[in-house]
Every structure is written in structure tokens, then in C-alpha cells.
A and B are shown apart, each in its own frame.
Chain A
Amino acid sequence: MNILVFTKRVPATQEEELRIIDEGQGIDFSKVPFKVNDWDNYAVEEAVQIAEKTGGSATAISIGDAESDEVLRRAIAMGIKDGFLIETEQILHDPNARATLIFNFLKKEGIPYDAIFTGVQSEDDQFAAVGGILAAKLGLPYASMIIGIDSLEQGHMIVQRELEGGLQERIKIILPCVLSIQSGINEPRYVSIMGIRKASKVERKLFKAKAYDENLNSMIEVVKWVYPPKKGGATILSGELEGVCKDLLGILKEKGVY
């Protein structure tokens, strides 16, 4: 089976302070580290495992600036055969625009595939949308939140989708199809710095987004970036660690749980 898998370079914001600049028109990322989108790691791992099992190949595709080459090298270090970068200077906020770019690219380059994988969402914009829009444009069946691939058969797959509250559903989906892969489906393999260095020697193919910009208009726009509303927030226990921990135990006692 040939699988295409999308992987995205995103800012690692979990431990960073994010500053809005240009009167709400921009965000300062100058001090923020970047990494591969967590959900894409699971999608890449799943694609590699299927390719290993079925004797096909897995290809990683990233849309982004030149630095996104980093996530392709990482994917190759995980066992992906080819890495394609669709290079764009401009950030595409609209998932419709991103899906259109991919759609045009796949059509124009005539890239063959049996299945397309994406992560369920990207950590930065949390749209959870590119896979679904792309599937509809390609006229293919789509399923999201894939937490397990039970069987791979001639022409179809049996997969499990995660729903809420621990419930899952098992469905049958015809190939070719588009699947959004949920975290926890597998254990993404560890990649060493050495592995990534070795992957640098594997050629990555570069495509310029401009060549695929037909119908690539943004249907939505960001008017402004704003900070979250302050909800009163927590009473911060401050001071020496010893005192803070004693205060914490005091609260537990007061609440009657300790």
C-alpha cells in the first residue's frame, strides 16, 4: 500500500509566553522553539508500520517554509521513504486553502496513493479540518479520530474511531480513503539525532506552492489576535517552596481529603 502522510512544523507553545504584536496582527515567535505536530507523529508511525507490513511505501508531505524540511527529515528517520515539501512563504490560516493546495498538488503531480493520513488536528490552530475538506474535494471516503486499524484487506480497511467518554465505533472504509489519525493509536518510535542526520542524506523534493495556487483563496480571515479572557483565575500560593507545600497540605486538610 502507498500511503501519503501530512506532517506539520508547529511552535511548541506549551511552556512559552506568547506575545501579541502589531496591534493584534501578529504573534512574536522569535523566542519560541518549533517541533513536529504531536498528532502527525502518530500518523507517520502508522503509515510506516503499514508500509512495512504490506510492502508498499509511505511518503511524507509538509506545507510550510523552508524550515519545514526539519519535520520531513524526522519522518524519514522514522522510516518514511520520500519527503515532499510544498514551500510557501505565506501562512495559510484557512484549512480550506491548505486542502485546496494539497488537492491541486496531488492532481497536477499525479501522485499515486491508496490512503492519505493526517493527524486529527494541529497543535497550533486546532482546526481538525484539513483531512475532511481534502477528502470531500477528492471525492473519497473519510473518517477521523482513528484509534486503531483492525484489518487491511483488498480494497478496504476496518478501523476504529474514537468517540466521547471512552466509546469507540468500528467502521468499514473503502480504499482509497482519507483518515485522520488520533494520538495513542501506536507508540511513535524514538528517533535519534544520528538518525535525523542520516535522513538528511535522503533527498527531499521541493515544490513551490505558487505552482498550485489555482482557487487558493482564503474564505476566512483573522481580524485580530487577542489574549484569553481572564476568569478571575487562581489564588497563587507564593513564597518559599516549604511554605507553599505546607499551605497546599493545609488546603487538603481543610477540604477534608487529607
Chain B
Amino acid sequence: MSYALVVAEVRRGVFEERNLDSIGICALMGKDVSLLVPDDNSYLINEKLVNTIIKVKLEEATFLNPLNMVKVVQAVIDYRGNPDTIVFTHSSSGTELASYVAGYFNLPLITDVSGFNKEKNFFYKSYYSDKLFGEFRQTGEGTCVITVRSGSFKEYAVEKASSPITETIEGTPAAEGRSFIEYVEEETAEIDITKAEFLLSVGRGVGNKDEIPDYEELAGMLKAVLSGSRPVIDKQWLPKPRQVGTSGKTVKPKVYLAMGISGAFQHIAGMKDSDCIIAVNKDPEAPIFQYAHFGIIADIHKVRDKLRNIIKG
């Protein structure tokens, strides 16, 4: 029986929700799912979604180490045969594990998969921050490794009403080349952007640090809180707790006003559930307009200045 091996991502004892996208794409592809999880905890998994659960006697951090993962995958292959797809999440750990597994076993790899076409059997992959997509497929036969974009396939993961077979395999000795020391939490915030009702968020489009005070002023006039996309935080124009996105904060304000932000999925993932999204960007093709409720195609500085003038009266 052909099967897909879904490598679960478990962080501090939590079965990450993005695993549902990995399970969902398998359902869409019509494949049986074998879910690979570390066996050091009792995670909350909806077991009805999968055919088999393979528990590995390893701690979470050892399991999520690419040097150990290749040995675990080898152990699975040894007694179950080759899976036709190995599925990881498209996250910090998922991309790290997937690329190492693909390199180690010399397998084709397609990352950041956000769609699948059943008739033509191709994967849909983003290019240029979602400005274009490529329809990809492997050239040969055999196992293909993929990483799956969070939020893309969850709805396909439906319950099968069956209870899965659970198998337990021995863990391998932890690799010496790389070892886990500890988790580190982010510094605490002076302002919690997740609590704001109205966020004015600025992106790389602001141009340089000198422009920031003017956007702060505008935010003040609008009674909004100023947040930003990653480049703004990387350049230290705004402090780290103000970052919206997968590696920053997930926000759901009443209004999210995005100025000079293109709409990369790592940013979108952090703000897409806002009640009302308004985007200002000079590029009419900017992907953020696909997620926004209202759009303004203009230079953000001109919009800022005009808004200030109108408010000042």
C-alpha cells in the first residue's frame, strides 16, 4: 500500500496546528497517512485523521534535529518500505528537516507547497513572494519530499471515523554534531500589539528610519498603534515586539492599515484574520491587495501627509 509519511512538528508538548495542512494535502492526494511523532509526551492529536501513528522514542528536541531525523526516517523505511511522499511543514523546523532529509536520501524536494492539482499531479509553489506561482512536479519516480504552507490544506483533513494503528519504534542515539540547549523567550513588550483595536503597520516601503517619526505621529493622530513588517524590525526602526507575522505576533485588530507592505505569506499569516484590512501600496500587483478589503494605489508618504493635513483641518 502506498503511503505518505507526515512528519509532525511538536513544540513544547503541543501538536502544532500547521500539521493539519500536512495531513490535509495527503487527503487531497488520496494517500494513506502515517504520522510520525516523538513519544515523549501526550499531545492532543485528532487520531481519526490518520491511518497509522508511528511513535518514536525520542524527545521533542532530539526528534526535531535533522541529524537525528534522517536516522528516524531510515528506521521507518526499513520496516515500512519507502513512502511515496514525505511531508513536512513549511516552518523553521520543517524546512530544516526536509532539506536535510532530501539531501541525505537524494530525493526530489519541493518546498512551500500551497496547492495541488489532482488531475495533472503537480504541486503549486510560490515564487517572488506570491507574485507568481510555478506548477511543479518530480521528473522521475519514487519518493518526493515536500514542505507545506500553513493554512493551505487544513480543510481537506477530514475525519475517517477509524482509529489508527499505533506503532512504536526505538529512537536512535542522539547525534553529536548538533545538540539542543534550551528555548529562549522573546523580551517582554512595552506595548502589546495583539491588544490594539487599530494597527497602523509599516513595511519596507517607508524607505528609511527618518520617516518613522512621521508615521508615529500619524498613528497618534489616528489613535492607532504602530507595528511593522519584518524588514522594519530587522533594521531596528521599530522594536521586535512590534513585528507582525509568523516569527512575530499574530494580530486580529478591528482595522489593520498596511502601508508599504508587499504581502509575503509570513506577514499575511500574522494579520489575515483582522476584521478590516486596508492596504496602501504603489504597486497595483502587490499580493497584499488580494487579502485587503480596501486598497489605495498610491505613494504612502503622500497618503500620510494628506491624512495629517485633513485631520489637522
Contact = CB atoms under 8 A, between A and B. Distances in A.
Size class of A's contact patch? 35 or more
Contacts of B110: 220
B129 A126 contact: yes
A48 B223 CA distance: 43
Contacts of B180: 169-171
A135 B100 contact: yes
A165 B247 contact: yes
B285 A245 contact: no
Contacts of A226: 124, 132-135
Contact of B182 (A170, A184, A233, A245): A170
A90 interface: no
Given A248-B296, A251-B294, A128 B99 contact: yes
Contacts of A235: 293-295
A34 B281 CA distance: 21
Interface in A232-258: 233-238, 241-242, 244-246, 248-249, 251-252, 255-258
B19 interface: no
A137 to B, nearest CB: 5
A224 B99 contact: no
B48 interface: no
Interface string A33-61: 00000100000000000000000000000
Size class of B's contact patch? 35 or more
B60 to A, nearest CB: 11
Given A99-B103, A125-B127, A220-B139, A244 B181 contact: no
Nearest to A138: B103
Interface in B47-97: 61, 66-67, 70, 90-93, 95-96
Contacts of B131: 13, 18, 228
B98 interface: yes
Given A126-B127, A167-B186, A248-B296, A18 B132 contact: yes
Interface stretch (B28-36, B38-46, B153-161, B299-307): B299-307
Contacts of B307: 245, 248-249
> Which of B93, B99, B276 gathers most chain A CB within 10 Å?
B99
A205 to B, nearest CB: 26
Contact of A166 (B197, B247, B289): B247
A158 interface: yes
B195 interface: no
A53 B135 CA distance: 45
Interface stretch (A72-80, A109-117, A172-180, A196-204): A172-180
Interface in B156-203: 175-186, 197-198
Contacts of B95: 128-129, 132, 144
A249 B255 CA distance: 12
A219 B139 contact: yes
Contacts of A225: 127, 132-135
> Which of B178, B182, B198, B306 gathers most chain A CB within 10 Å?
B178
A241 B303 contact: yes
A124 to B, nearest CB: 6
Nearest to B182: A170
B5 interface: no
A177 B177 contact: yes
A119 interface: no
Contacts of A7: none
B250 interface: yes
A124 B131 CA distance: 10
B216 interface: no
A36 to B, nearest CB: 15
B185 A18 contact: no
A242 B87 CA distance: 51
Contact of A132 (B96, B250, B291): B96
A144 B96 contact: yes
Contacts of B282: 15
A248 B278 contact: yes
Given A20-B132, A27-B132, A228-B132, 14 more contacts: A13-B129, A123-B129, A127-B111, A128-B99, A129-B98, A141-B175, A163-B92, A170-B182, A184-B233, A220-B138, A225-B134, A228-B290, A236-B289, A242-B306
Interface of B: 11, 61, 66-67, 70, 90-93, 95-96, 98-104, 106-112, 120, 122, 124, 126-140, 175-186, 197-198, 204, 222-224, 230-231, 233-236, 240-241, 246-250, 254-255, 262, 275-279, 282-285, 287, 289-298, 302-303, 306-307, 310-311
16 contacts: A127-B112, A128-B99, A136-B102, A140-B177, A145-B92, A166-B248, A169-B180, A170-B183, A220-B136, A220-B139, A223-B120, A223-B136, A226-B124, A226-B134, A226-B135, A251-B255
Nearest 3 pairs of A and B residues by beta carbon: A132-B99, A136-B103, A141-B177
